[in-house]
Chain A
Amino acid sequence: MIRVEDLNYAIPAAEGAKPVLRGLGFEVPRGRLAALLGPSGCGKSTLLRILAGRQRADSGRVDVEGPAFTIHQESSLFPWLDVHENLHFGSLSGLDPALVARLLRVAGLEGFESHFPHELSGGMRRKAELLRAILSQSPTLLLDEPLASLDALSRHRLRREFKMLLREFPRTVVLVTHDIEDALDWADVIFIASHRPMRILQVIERNANGGLGLDREGLLRVLESSENSNLQEKR
């Protein structure tokens, strides 16, 4: 579970502190995937760094069931290790070979265990990273625009396969993105974030039938109206 209450953070600068997060608050129940949808540069990556415990907030409260595992925008599979070694990295007690084999099969990476990251496609690298995150046993995953560098079809396939994996190995996930397809396809709950200083403008939750109650156009309208009201407030 992740709980953030009244979080404030500002970047110190010569001409005065520049606020990045102001009074930010939200909650992600255990095992749910929350998408944080906001404009570029609104402070999403800063928030992830605070959730990961790599950066201290100025004030407020952050509860993250840890340790958290971050999947970065660029591949962070270790390029000097093959897929098998990457998946087993950091595991002192050793992993269950049957579990690793099953995960590889589910992710379509069976037969690629001895391949190095540079021998895989961008989509395969992302899948291997997610498997490593799942095998790390971290209860919380922080995804920083993990599909940003992929083409539309790869993104679509990966979202489907990630969802399947997360259904089988539930984790609390915060997905930071500015792509509405990621949010619509993937999230149990969508937080619409404002421009910097970031705060949550609106929360859209999936209903009991699994629907969000709005489509692509609907979400775009929500984003537009949120942005307009945000700008009016600033004026």
Chain B
Amino acid sequence: MKRWIPFGIVTVLGTLLWGWLAARSGLPEGVFPGPAAVATAAAQELASGEIPRHALQSLFRYGVSFAATTLLGTSLGLVFWVYSVCRAALQPYVHFFRFVSPLAWIPIVILAFGVGHLPVIVLLFLATFFPTLAGSLAALERVPRRYLETGLDLGLKGWRLAARVQWPAALPEILAHLRIAAGVGWVVLVAAEMLAGDGGLGFAILDARNGMRVDLVLVYLVVIGLVGLGIDRVFVEFRRLARLGWSFREALSEEGA
């Protein structure tokens, strides 16, 4: 059976059940809208350009913040691995901040940066940077010793060994950590935009709630989920690349050998 058939059946049945519940609940459509009302609201929001506007604003903040996380989190992981003194001095702080909820930073960030792009970007960075750095370091430490020894046998040392052997060997696991951080980041982005944003999908949900538009709340909820799935898809596609997806394929080929 094709994979989409069970998914399609569940979706159709779920939508029918939702419509039936909305019709039988006795609640006004403004409180419990059915699928048709939500679809109409989605069409209107799309036509007016509100959905793309909010989505692009969120994606801009997300993109800037996640680029900074990826660049700093992974490269500092490599610096920590090469210079053990950095690791000894700073690793406890990395783990400490990893356990501080990004939402706990909200008062300080709003005080420092007000509302708009910057506070959301900073909050998102705080949510994803520390787990990415800790994950990168763990991935670098778990590289099998035989790869490093082979690199040494082939004449590499220090930074060259780190960049040409340690880093690519750890990359698939680093990508797995980035994928988790990407999911966490998207969740935090919506919450941050509700509190410190002046636009974006999180802000749009809050705005719809303030206007008592449950149908719009549901529309933006679906948009948030769909964009999140799209972001995750990027990571799945990365794994398909031979140079990045090797750890999974290697395991499979050795099982079958």
Instruction: Return the contact of A78 from the options B165, B242, B257 (Cβ within 8 A).
Output: B165
Residue on A with the closest CB to B151?
Answer: A90
Is A78 within 8 A of B168, CB to CB? Answer: yes
List chain A residues, Cβ under 8 A from B164.
89
The reply to whether B154 and A89 contact each other, CB–CB distance below 8 Å, is: yes
Q: How large is the interface on A (under 10, 10 to 19, 20 to 34, 35 or more residues)?
A: 20 to 34
Number of chain B residues close to chain A: CB under 8 A: 26
| Alpha-carbon distance A76/B242, docked complex (angstroms) | 17
Contact check, A121 vs B242: say whether CB atoms are below 8 A apart. no
A69 at the A/B interface (Cβ < 8 Å)? yes
B48 lies within 8 A of chain A by Cβ: no
Contact B169 A78 (CB under 8 A): yes
Beyond A116-B242, A122-B257, whether A70 also contacts B249 by CB under 8 A is no
Main secondary structure of the interface of B (DSSP, over half): helix
CB within 8 Å of A: which of B150-191?
150-151, 153-156, 164-165, 168-169, 171
**Within the complex, which residue of B149, B168, B243, B247 is in contact with A70, where a contact is CB–CB below 8 Å?**
B149
Asked whether B153 lies within 8 Å of A68 as measured between CB atoms, the reply is yes
B210 at the interface (CB under 8 A from A): no
- Alpha-carbon distance between A80 and B171 when the two chains are bound, in angstroms: 9
Chain B residue nearest to A123 (CB atoms) is: B257
Is A6 an interface residue, CB under 8 A from the partner? Answer: no
- Taking a contact as CB atoms under 8 Å apart, the answer to whether A72 and B156 are in contact is no
Whether B146 and A74, one on each chain, are in contact in the complex, defined by CB atoms closer than 8 angstroms, is yes
Q: Decide if B246 is an interface residue (CB 8 Å cutoff).
A: yes
The residues of A that contact B146 with a CB separation of less than 8 Å are 72, 74, 76
- In the complex, the answer to whether A67 meets B253 with C-beta atoms within 8 Å is no
With both chains docked as a complex, state the minimum distance between the C-beta of B160 and any C-beta of chain A, in angstroms. 9
A89 to chain B, nearest CB (A): 6
Does A117 count as interface, using CB distance less than 8 angstroms? Answer: yes
Q: Do residues A121 and B257 form an inter-chain contact, with CB atoms below 8 A? A: yes
| Bound Cα distance from A90 to B151, whole angstroms | 8
- Chain A residues within 8 Å of B250, by CB: 79, 117-118
Where the two chains meet, the residues of B that have a C-beta atom closer than 8 Å to any C-beta of A are 144, 146-147, 149-151, 153-156, 164-165, 168-169, 171, 242-244, 246-247, 249-250, 252-254, 257
* Sample of 14 further A-B pairs with CB below 8 A, known A70-B153, A78-B165, A80-B168: A52-B149, A67-B155, A69-B154, A70-B150, A72-B146, A72-B149, A76-B146, A76-B150, A79-B169, A79-B250, A89-B154, A90-B154, A119-B249, A149-B257
Residues of A within 8 A of B (CB): 52, 54, 67-70, 72, 74, 76, 78-82, 89-90, 92, 116-119, 121-122, 132, 136, 138, 149
16 A/B residue pairs, CB under 8 Å, sorted by A: A52-B153, A67-B153, A72-B149, A76-B147, A78-B147, A78-B150, A78-B168, A79-B250, A80-B171, A80-B246, A90-B154, A90-B156, A116-B246, A118-B246, A118-B250, A122-B257
